[in-house]
A and B are shown apart, each in its own frame.
Chain A
Amino acid sequence: MQEAISFTPQLSASLIAEILWLIPAVPIVASGLAALLKQPRRKASATLAIGSLSFSLLLSLVAFRHVVSEWANGRATREVVNFAWFQTGAVNVDLGWVLDPLSAVMLVMVSFVGLLIFIYSTGYMEHDENYTRFFCFMSLFAGAMLGVVVANSLLLLFMCWELVGLTSYLLIGFWYQKPSASAAAKKAFLTTRIGDVFFLLGIVWLFSQTGTLLFYNHGAGSLEPFALAGLLATPAALGLTAAGAIGLLIFAGAAGKSGQFPLHVWLPDAMEGPTPVSALIHAATMVAAGVYLIARVYPLMQAGALAGGTTTALTVVTWVGAFTAVFAALIAVAQNDIKRILAYSTVSQLGYMMAGLGLGGVAVGMFHLITHAFFKALLFMGAGSVIHGCHEEQDIRKMGGLKADMPLTFATYGVGMLALCGFPLLFSGFWSKDGILEAAQHWSVAKTPFYMLVFGALLTAFYMTRQVAYVFFGYWRGGKPAHESPAVMTAPLAILAFFAMALGLIGTPAWPWFRAFLDGRAASFAWRGFMEPGLLALMCASTLVVFLGLGLGWKLYGDRSPRPQEPDALERVTPLVWGWLRDKLYVDEFYGVTVIAFYEGWARVSDWLDRRVWGGVVAGVAWTFGLWAQLNRFLDNNIVDGSFDKGCDELGVGGGLLSRMQTGRVQTYLRLLALAVVLLAAILIWSSRA
């Protein structure tokens, strides 16, 4: 296996494309350096993390500007840099990175939101003694996530994907002394692992079919028409083609990472980690990696679709996404932990993104991903500010009236909440969600996802109003009075709030800049965009739904502020349904009874085998050896030693007998002499006679 790095000749690889690998590499190196620091070096580790990510942000902005200028000038917007990693015989494994509109916007989003969260964490984690370790892991995560974004090879993407999973495990279990935290970390890792097994199967299958794992390689990549044609021609099971089957396998991996039903169970438990972790990893970036993966391999998912139609893979994606959206929103209605509500909200919104990808394509799903990143990070950081201000309290029933005590937090949180609900016109969430609803409305297969997503929007508005009413309105039900957070925490909130509103501008139908950028078309501002058939009606309908949800929520929860021991307002209406929703619709319990019980049974069998059967064999062998050793000892002591000792004793006895001849008396010697002579004479006579 030789390791040769040879750069395939590029037609026009710009400088920024060549050095694109620095964007993920620098934070990883910073993480490695931070790992060598001792715990008390807090300033150094924070500086390393923030500095490296700022550098990555700078390079990402440069890359983004470059791609925008290429796009504006109508040139090709995709640049790849590939190199050979290793060869074994006829098999070539290449790695590489890609710079195109999709990766450019993700790079900017990840590094920008990440940087803001890092700055926020310096304030949030100030009183934590493991400060250095925190920033080391966060840096590693940032580098790995950026690696997932720039990867041009499915193998490189998978490697960074696993690294992201690892850092998620490390950060969820950051306070590992808490048993609930370490259990949540294990759950996260194992659940995403199930998805990753299918993902790996898809990778191997793709490699065996097309011979390459690179996405784009001047026509020879696996997402390029030649390879896709080959995949479409190969049939797989259940009436699918190889392309469809591989697409579904890859979606299984994405479903694990992005918390789609039924692999969503780890995300709410992942709230055991510190709030900046929840904000960065489980709201904005890592969970979005699954969505990004589907967007990245979209040509594969879409392969074989006729004009206006869709493929099996994308249909599955849409249904799973829509179902998840409603499922998670229902559970979010009945939760009492401020972060858990946001976690289920994230699962629900991820469902929206997946549905958007399946219904409307890359641009629709990605736009919602970008806007969601900003306002969900804002909401989580706001929640962190609230928790910090309420002295580590997380139960919303013990808060209240904070709009007076924490005005900045309230204002920014309100912006985020309205963006999430999809409040019309001013907030980016409205435009991105409407894009998805519009695509759902025109879906050729069925109309059911559209109704599910609309219902989901209603629920979203409802539970967010409930949460805001509990936390910020009414009167204070906690212990010590709350206080506002320091500027280092509220400043990032303000910045994110600005973007939560402003990002809507690039996605309106009047100026669909984002969609055009990603699709590679030209974009221009035209009011005519609003005149699309059914668009205005849809906008009005969604506005109505949002107001309905807000109104219902306010009516039930308003300024009431019930005490923790009193039942919730909705609980009074339907206690049975409320019970189901509060218990998360029993998915965890179902897993406990089936999968985990199955594994426990096998573990017991294996343990018995190991102890009794294999252990028995070993013990048996040892026993026979012991027996043999005993036999040897017996032989040695009694026969060998015995015979030897006996011989020596006989010698002694013989010597004793012989020494009796030495009586010391002359006459004895004389007798012996005479006797000897007689014997000699006898022998002589006898021999001469014979």
Chain B
Amino acid sequence: MTPLAGYLLVAALIFSIGLAGALTRRNAILVLIGIELMLNAANLNLIAFWRYGPHPELLTGMMFAIFSIAVAAAEAAVGLGLVISIHRHAKTTDLDQMNRMKG
């Protein structure tokens, strides 16, 4: 197994763990944590491919990952702000109870 494959596997594992958590935890914030994990796993993928792929001097992978980090940070901020706002209204962050869109 090449080093790249190893990194990819680890990234996949982290991604799946993050997905599992996002899909199963009740607390909205923990869902966001899961999402952060997924994003990080994707970043790992990008850097891995940059390192072991052709033309690393183009810095494509690195740039992508940096921008991804920036956007993820912004998204985390907005997401958490939303969770706080929802908590103010519903007095809870339990996702199982938030089914007003049920139909």
Which residues of A are in contact with B by a Cβ distance under 8 Å?
659, 662-667, 670-671, 674
Report the Cα distance A456→B97, complex, angstroms.
132
Chain B, residue nearest A662 (CB): B103
Q: CB distance B99 to A664 under 8 Å?
A: yes
Q: Which residues of B contact A666 (CB under 8 A)?
A: 31, 95, 98
B55 contacts the other chain (Cβ, under 8 Å)? no
B22 contacts the other chain (Cβ, under 8 Å)? yes
Q: Which residues of A contact B95 (CB under 8 A)?
A: 665-667
Q: Which 7 A-B pairs have the closest CB atoms?
A: A664-B102, A664-B99, A664-B101, A662-B103, A665-B99, A671-B23, A667-B23
Q: CB distance A665 to B96 under 8 Å?
A: yes
Which residue of the partner chain, among A664, A667, A674, contacts B100 with CB atoms under 8 Å? A664
Chain B 64-103 interface residues, beta-carbon cutoff 8 Å to A: 95-96, 98-103
Q: CB distance B103 to A670 under 8 Å?
A: no
Given A674-B19, A674-B23: A667 in contact with B102 (beta carbons within 8 A): no
Report the Cα distance A671→B95, complex, angstroms.
14
Q: Which residues of A contact B101 (CB under 8 A)?
A: 662, 664
Q: CB distance A670 to B22 under 8 Å?
A: yes
Q: Which residues of B contact A665 (CB under 8 A)?
A: 95-96, 98-99, 102
B60 contacts the other chain (Cβ, under 8 Å)? no
Chain A, residue nearest B96 (CB): A665
Q: CB distance A664 to B98 under 8 Å?
A: yes
Q: Which residues of A contact B96 (CB under 8 A)?
A: 665
Chain A, residue nearest B35 (CB): A670
Report the Cα distance A405→B13, complex, angstroms.
150
Q: Which residues of B contact A664 (CB under 8 A)?
A: 98-103
State the Cβ distance, A652 to closest chain B Cβ, in Å: 15
State the Cβ distance, A667 to closest chain B Cβ, in Å: 6
Chain A, residue nearest B22 (CB): A670
Report the Cα distance A11→B24, complex, angstroms.
133
Q: Which residues of A contact B19 (CB under 8 A)?
A: 674
Q: CB distance B103 to A659 under 8 Å?
A: yes
Report the Cα distance A462→B98, complex, angstroms.
132
State the Cβ distance, B97 to closest chain A Cβ, in Å: 9
Q: CB distance B102 to A670 under 8 Å?
A: no
B interface size (C-beta, 8 A) = 13
Which residue of the partner chain, among A659, A663, A667, contacts B24 with CB atoms under 8 Å? A667
**Besides the contacts A664-B103, A665-B96, A670-B23, what 7 more A-B pairs have beta carbons closer than 8 Å?**
A662-B101, A663-B102, A664-B100, A665-B102, A666-B31, A667-B22, A667-B24
Q: CB distance A662 to B102 under 8 Å?
A: yes
Report the Cα distance A670→B19, complex, angstroms.
9
Q: Which residues of A contact B99 (CB under 8 A)?
A: 663-665
State the Cβ distance, A546 to closest chain B Cβ, in Å: 127
Report the Cα distance A662→B22, complex, angstroms.
18
Q: Which residues of B contact A667 (CB under 8 A)?
A: 22-24, 31, 95
State the Cβ distance, B53 to closest chain A Cβ, in Å: 21
Report the Cα distance A439→B100, complex, angstroms.
132
Report the Cα distance A664→B24, complex, angstroms.
15
State the Cβ distance, A658 to closest chain B Cβ, in Å: 10
Chain A, residue nearest B19 (CB): A674
Chain A, residue nearest B98 (CB): A665
Report the Cα distance A666→B35, complex, angstroms.
13
Q: Which residues of A contact B31 (CB under 8 A)?
A: 666-667
Most buried by B among A659, A662, A666, A674: A666
Report the Cα distance A588→B23, complex, angstroms.
116
14 residue pairs A–B, Cβ–Cβ below 8 Å: A662-B102, A663-B102, A664-B101, A664-B102, A664-B103, A665-B95, A665-B96, A665-B99, A666-B95, A667-B22, A667-B24, A670-B22, A671-B23, A674-B19
State the Cβ distance, B40 to closest chain A Cβ, in Å: 18
Report the Cα distance A659→B23, complex, angstroms.
20
Q: Which residues of B contact A663 (CB under 8 A)?
A: 99, 102
Most buried by B among A659, A663, A665, A671: A665
State the Cβ distance, A626 to closest chain B Cβ, in Å: 51
Q: Which residues of A contact B23 (CB under 8 A)?
A: 667, 670-671, 674
Report the Cα distance A201→B99, complex, angstroms.
105
State the Cβ distance, B38 to closest chain A Cβ, in Å: 10
User: A-facing mask of B40-77, CB < 8 A → 1, else 0?
Assistant: 00000000000000000000000000000000000000
State the Cβ distance, B101 to closest chain A Cβ, in Å: 4
Chain A, residue nearest B20 (CB): A674
State the Cβ distance, B82 to closest chain A Cβ, in Å: 12
Report the Cα distance A82→B102, complex, angstroms.
106
State the Cβ distance, A678 to closest chain B Cβ, in Å: 10
Chain B, residue nearest A673 (CB): B23
Report the Cα distance A666→B96, complex, angstroms.
9
Report the Cα distance A664→B101, complex, angstroms.
4
State the Cβ distance, B67 to closest chain A Cβ, in Å: 23
State the Cβ distance, B99 to closest chain A Cβ, in Å: 3
State the Cβ distance, A138 to closest chain B Cβ, in Å: 97
Report the Cα distance A666→B86, complex, angstroms.
14
Report the Cα distance A663→B100, complex, angstroms.
9
Chain B, residue nearest A661 (CB): B103
State the Cβ distance, A101 to closest chain B Cβ, in Å: 116
State the Cβ distance, A392 to closest chain B Cβ, in Å: 101
Report the Cα distance A232→B31, complex, angstroms.
132
Report the Cα distance A154→B98, complex, angstroms.
113
Report the Cα distance A300→B69, complex, angstroms.
140
Q: Which residues of A contact B100 (CB under 8 A)?
A: 664
Chain B, residue nearest A669 (CB): B101
Q: Which residues of A contact B98 (CB under 8 A)?
A: 664-666
Chain B 7-22 interface residues, beta-carbon cutoff 8 Å to A: 19, 22
Q: Which residues of B contact A674 (CB under 8 A)?
A: 19, 23
State the Cβ distance, A675 to closest chain B Cβ, in Å: 10
Chain A, residue nearest B28 (CB): A666
State the Cβ distance, B47 to closest chain A Cβ, in Å: 22
State the Cβ distance, A681 to closest chain B Cβ, in Å: 12
Report the Cα distance A659→B19, complex, angstroms.
25
Report the Cα distance A114→B95, complex, angstroms.
122
State the Cβ distance, B39 to closest chain A Cβ, in Å: 15
Report the Cα distance A218→B99, complex, angstroms.
120
Report the Cα distance A290→B84, complex, angstroms.
129
Report the Cα distance A17→B90, complex, angstroms.
125
State the Cβ distance, A38 to closest chain B Cβ, in Å: 85
Most buried by B among A662, A667, A670, A674: A667
Report the Cα distance A663→B102, complex, angstroms.
5
